[in-house]
Amino acid sequence: MADILAAPPVASKQAETDDQLRTLGLISVAHWVSHFHIFALPMLFPFLKQQLHVGYVELGFALTVFAVSSGLTQAPIGYLADHLGARKILLIGLCLGGGALIALGLHLSYSWLIVSAALLGLANSVYHPANYAILSAHMNEARMGRAFSIHTFAGFLGGAVAPAVIAGLVAATGGNGALIAAGAVGPLVALLILIFGIPDVRAADKETDRADAPKQNVITPALVVLTVFFMLLSLSNAGIANFGVVALMSGYGATFSGANLALTAYLGASAAGVLAGGFLADHTERHGQVAAACFGVNAAILLLVATVSQPPLLLTGAMGLAGFLSGVIAPSRDMMVRNAAPPGAAGRAFGIVSTGFNIGGTVSPLLFGWIMDQHLPHWVFGGSVVFMVLTVLLALATEQSPESKPARA
């Protein structure tokens, strides 16, 4: 009899674990789609330039429209995720982003390119508020950092495979077919989520929906500081990712293959660092200190890159270590936001702070492009160091004492 009575809790625990793994897997696939769609248009620029008879300035304007659209809608989408249900918002975003690319493939014109970029930006604003709200509510608290790291890694992977996948689609189906096929991924993943199912946030946060529940101000000083923190993170990484190759070639005498190898080491090690950072985030509550320590060492490494000429092998190693440390902080970064979010407001919190990424994405091409136009390639890395130092200071400023953190179930 004792064994019979003990069985249901074990089975229940296993079912709960299975539900969490299924939720994490599906949410991570959705994040893969978001980064894949981000890179779909840039990878097709040569095709679009030839077919639309426009210059790179006009094509770059489409990316600006994407960034502005995503930035302006992150916070409102977070509000909708908390009040209408994050799962509904995620499904809409997957279908909207996919539909935007499909429509462009069917009606290829510059005006449709701009409309598609705006819709892609709106769809992109869905993923962080909806995904993090669902994960924050339904993942095991003891493994939350690792859940965030797997989710972030999936996004990195989507961006990493986009060039090869888009190139293969163009070779197989042409540019228009590549747009349609890349877009179809969104609705297919939405269908996958509907078939296998994931829990919604509102189901886990019923207590916060009571009519007599006290209203909380989501735009807190901590979240405002974290929004600036996210902007600085974007600025410190975007210069290296977008202008690192040309800076190394023009200012350090690196060959094209050598510069690309160094950047590949930076980006690849960053993805590996995200997974390592998940384990670290689960074994500490001092997430701000983790972020500050990693970026402090990172700033020192990049300062050496900016000021000291290094042989190719040493340069590649330094860039790889810097990338790894940059990735390690990602789960701690996400935990800082979760800890700062009022109960039941994870979607709004992540929507607000993710706006910082979009601000950085809008400013960084202009800033680092201007630096290269002034023939100051060393300042691509020097400027990143400045932003990293500021990031360290803000990471320490956002560190909360244990008693000030919201209680979590």
Residues 133 and 232 in one domain: no
Instruction: Fill in the DSSP letter of residue 217.
Output: -
Rounded CA gap, 309 and 52, in Å? 43
Residue with tokens 């910082």: 356
> Does residue 262 belong to any structural domain of this protein?
yes
The residue segments making up the domain with residue 345 are 221-400
Other Cβ atoms within 10 Å of 352 Cβ, number: 25
> Does residue 10 belong to any structural domain of this protein?
no
Instruction: Fill in the DSSP letter of residue 139.
Output: S
DSSP sequence for 182-195: HHHHHHHHHHHHHH
pLDDT digits (tens, 9 = 90+) for 205-226: 444 444 444 555 667 788 888 8
Rounded CA gap, 46 and 52, in Å? 10
pLDDT digits (tens, 9 = 90+) for 241-284: 777 877 888 888 888 778 878 887 887 888 888 888 888 887 77
> Does residue 9 belong to any structural domain of this protein?
no
Residues 260 and 193 in one domain: no
Other Cβ atoms within 10 Å of 212 Cβ, number: 4
Residues 145 and 275 in one domain: no
Residue 356 reports pLDDT greater than 60 = yes
Which ranges of 201-255 does DSSP label H, i.e. alpha helix? 201-204, 221-252
Residues 240 and 336 in one domain: yes
> Does residue 104 belong to any structural domain of this protein?
yes
> Does residue 278 belong to any structural domain of this protein?
yes
Structure tokens at 263: 């950047």
Q: Pick 10 or 243 by higher pLDDT.
A: 243
Q: Pick 31 or 344 by higher pLDDT.
A: 31
Residues 178 and 267 in one domain: no
Ranked by mean pLDDT, the top range of 107-116, 204-213, 320-329 is: 107-116
Residues 130 and 253 in one domain: no
Query: What CATH number is given to the structural domain containing 193?
Result: 1.20.1250.20
Residues 177 and 287 in one domain: no
Domain count, the chain: 2
Averaged pLDDT for residues 92-99: 96
Rounded CA gap, 360 and 346, in Å? 22
Rounded CA gap, 324 and 25, in Å? 24
Question: Percent of the chain beyond pLDDT 70?
Answer: 90
Mean pLDDT value across the chain: 82
Residues 187 and 225 in one domain: no
Q: Pick 230 or 205 by higher pLDDT.
A: 230
pTM: 0.74
> Does residue 194 belong to any structural domain of this protein?
yes
Rounded CA gap, 252 and 319, in Å? 14
pLDDT digits (tens, 9 = 90+) for 162-197: 878 888 899 999 999 999 999 999 999 999 999 988
Residues 89 and 153 in one domain: yes
Averaged pLDDT for residues 60-77: 86
Residue with tokens 């003891």: 142
> Does residue 5 belong to any structural domain of this protein?
no
Residue 94 reports pLDDT greater than 90 = yes
> Does residue 289 belong to any structural domain of this protein?
yes
Averaged pLDDT for residues 275-299: 83
Residues 198 and 241 in one domain: no
Confidence grade of residue 401 (pLDDT, cut at 50, 70, 90)? very low
Residues 282 and 333 in one domain: yes
Residues 186 and 240 in one domain: no
Which ranges of 197-220 does DSSP label H, i.e. alpha helix? 201-204
Confidence grade of residue 33 (pLDDT, cut at 50, 70, 90)? very high
